[in-house]
Amino acid sequence: MRMSKINAVRPGSFVRMVDSHSKWAESLTEEKFRVEAAEIGGQLREQGFTDAVVAKCFSLIREAATRTTGKRHFGVQLIGGRVMLNGMIAEMETGEGKTLTATLPAAAAALAGIPVHVITVNDYLADRDSRWMGPIYHLLGLKVGTIVHGMEPSARRAAYSAHVTYCTNKEVAFDYLKDRIVLGRESGRAGLQVERLYEKRPRVDRLLLRGLHFAIVDEADSVLVDEARTPLIISGADDSATSERDTCQTALALASTMVVNRHFIIESHNRSAKLLPDGIELIQNASVTLGGVWKRRHWREQLVTQALSAQHLYLDGKQYLIKDDKIQIIDEYTGRVMADRSWEHGLHQMIEVKEGCTMSRRTQPLARISYQRFFRRYLWLSGMTGTAREVAGELWSTYKLATARVPTNKPSRRVKWPAQIHATEEEKWKAIVDRISEMHQKGRPVLVGTRSVKASEHLSSLLTARDLPNQLLNARQDVIEAMIVAEAGQPGRITVATNMAGRGTDIILGPKVPELGGLHVIATELHEARRIDRQLFGRCGRQGDPGTCEAIVSAEDELQRSHSRGIWKVLSRAAAARRRGLPSPLRGFDLRVAQRSAERLHRRMRRDLLKIDEHLDATLAFSGRPE
């Protein structure tokens, strides 16, 4: 079937069309369900995704959800589903049931014979959502597959052969790259079919995917924008590489003798170190007694620059964790460990030597692609998120994805309190603990968001010292994440979490909590993207529940220091003046200045990455290589 875009969704009339089929759907027996589902699938293939056929299809899917899960799609979820089936991004507020909403376009497309990938941000959500929503698809006669890290190729192949496959952006993108490696230079359909005649295990039988047909991207802004700053690279062991531990140790020793602002400077905004003339001279003098790579200026300067970055910009508990003698990268947007990822250009090995871990072998790239180019290869792309408005222009310019705002099912009762700005981190933490204590005494549950594992553990220790019982949720506790989040809305509960609690989690309020004012959310730092803050604040005030949120920050926070270009100094003076009872020189100052600066930088980085990726693709095309 040819998929073509339809006219813009007319919310009211479409919901009424779906409702008009409700009695018909409710009258169906279980045996008749699959027969009607197959018949509607045929109509979708013949007529396309017209309002009339889609409305009947959505009514059938809604009835399947009611019977199997006890959850019935609201009118706004029907609108969200229609938006996504229209090849757009549905912006739905946090707590509006995006997981259930995705079953509408996914099942409709699958009934039409189109393989569907429902893509989310981590294995936990992919597995959870496929299990929760699986019964809906089964009643419609559809098969559901799940892809998580560590699966064998045969299991992956089977999961991708299902009508609807739940997976993460990382897993499906790397599986695509693996298929490109298998196909090699010659990937024409005719050649692959002929190969079946003489090969015992032809390449076509070793492929994992059936192609890139229809993708529904959950947390679309995170996947399509935030993740797009990092290229996806499959690497193999570099057999030519020798042991580099001594070289790294020498570089780290040299770096430790250097003085900041004399031998080097730290460019926090783009997380890099830059050598100054005195630093270059120091390295040159030291290289006189060294051999090998130290005789070549470019190599020795690059080594020391990497060592400086490893020492000053990549820290345990912030950018990575040490687990089982390995360096495990922490995703700055989700707060989760990415155990199978590594930094390139020798930085990962440098950090391993710095921390005294077993040094892994260097690798060489076998295939690479950016998320921008990968997702543009889907024949049909759509998504959903609670925070798309800030990046709506980029989603359109990069992916040609329009964004449609979907109204809430119930009016929001979330109240945002004014931000508190303190001069120092010490004052900030004291204010946070005081606020938590105040809420705890009232019996209100509190969720506190931090930007790093280190910060979450520091706050937890401060709370413990004040005899305030708390639950800690960061990359070290990812196994029991669901249990911690499930209890976060109980009376008097204090939960300290990294970004892990910011997406894809529902916090159900305990008894009498709504009467007390609901969940109170505190952001201890502003993130480099305003959307991440909105995700955290969206943990409260869901589905018409009451809730409050606020930011309690300091002038010494990383965002202000890295991206405000001196404004953090003014913030310090303002906070100090306020402490002494003097008029603040920053009355009406917008804290989001630094965020906008960071967002501009990251937008430029994503644009540059896409240009480099497209340039590489065009250059390698001369050799016949597709990636």
Checking if the pLDDT of 443 tops 50, the result is yes
In degrees, rounded to 5, the angle at the alpha carbon of residue 422 between the alpha carbons of residues 417 and 427 is 110
Give the pLDDT confidence score for residue 503 in this predicted structure: 59
Task: Sketch the domain layout of the chain as residue ranges.
Answer: 74-231+371-405, 242-360, 413-591
Query: Which tops the pLDDT comparison, 394 or 584?
Result: 394
CA-wise closest residue to 382 among 580, 34, 87: 87
Checking if the pLDDT of 390 tops 90, the result is no
pLDDT band per the 50, 70, 90 thresholds, residue 625: very low
- For the stretch 313-330, pLDDT in tens is 998 888 888 888 889 888
Spatial separation of the C-alpha atoms in residues 125 and 122, rounded to whole Å: 6
Amino acid at 6: I
Q: What is the mean pLDDT of residues 204-232?
A: 89
CA distances from 349 to 353, 482, 572 (A): 6, 33, 38
With a CB cutoff of 8 Å and minimum separation 6, the contacts of 239 are: none
Residue pointed to by tokens 């008009």:
20
With a CB cutoff of 8 Å and minimum separation 6, the contacts of 191 are: none
What three-state secondary structure class fits 545? Answer: coil
Give the pLDDT confidence score for residue 618 in this predicted structure: 60
Give the pLDDT confidence score for residue 364 in this predicted structure: 64
Structure tokens at 232: 């996806």
Spatial separation of the C-alpha atoms in residues 178 and 208, rounded to whole Å: 8
**Cβ atoms 338, 331 nearer than 8 A:** yes
Mean pLDDT over the full length of the chain: 85
Burial 103-132 (b: 16+ CB within 10 A, else e): bbbbbbbbbbebbbbbbbbbbbbbbbbbee
DSSP assignment, residue 96?
S
**Cβ atoms 385, 72 nearer than 8 A:** no
Q: 54-63, 267-276, 362-371, 520-529: which range is least confident on average?
A: 362-371
The separation between the first and the last C-alpha atoms of the chain, rounded to the nearest angstrom, is 29
Fold topology of 242-360: Pre-protein croslinking domain of SecA (3.90.1440)
Checking if the pLDDT of 478 tops 90, the result is no
Give burial (CB, 10 Å; 0-12/13-18/19+) of 218: buried
Spatial separation of the C-alpha atoms in residues 336 and 481, rounded to whole Å: 11
Percent pLDDT > 70 in the chain is 83
Give the pLDDT confidence score for residue 1 in this predicted structure: 44
Long-range contacts of 258-266 (CB under 8 A, 24+ apart): 258/282, 258/304, 258/308, 260/312, 264/305, 264/308, 266/308, 266/312, 266/313
What is the gyration radius of the CA atoms in the chain, in angstroms? Answer: 27
Long-range contacts of 344-350 (CB under 8 A, 24+ apart): 344/233, 345/302, 345/306, 346/244, 346/248, 346/303, 346/306, 347/306, 347/309, 347/310, 347/314, 349/244, 349/248, 350/248, 350/251, 350/252, 350/306, 350/307, 350/309, 350/310
Give the pLDDT confidence score for residue 189 in this predicted structure: 64
Q: What is the DSSP string of 237-259?
A: E-TT----HHHHHHHHHHHHT--
Spatial separation of the C-alpha atoms in residues 543 and 96, rounded to whole Å: 6
In degrees, rounded to 5, the angle at the alpha carbon of residue 266 between the alpha carbons of residues 264 and 269 is 155
Q: 29-38, 183-192, 268-277: which range is least confident on average?
A: 183-192
Q: 194-203, 346-355, 453-462: which range is least confident on average?
A: 194-203
- For the stretch 256-291, pLDDT in tens is 999 999 999 988 777 789 999 999 999 999 888 887
Task: Identify the CATH number of the domain defined by range 413-591.
Answer: 3.40.50.300
Spatial separation of the C-alpha atoms in residues 483 and 488, rounded to whole Å: 9
Checking if the pLDDT of 54 tops 80, the result is yes
Q: Does domain 74-231+371-405 have CATH number 3.40.50.300?
A: yes
Spatial separation of the C-alpha atoms in residues 430 and 436, rounded to whole Å: 10
Fold match, 74-231+371-405 / 413-591? yes
Structure tokens at 248: 């790294």
Give the pLDDT confidence score for residue 592 in this predicted structure: 67
Amino acid at 586: L
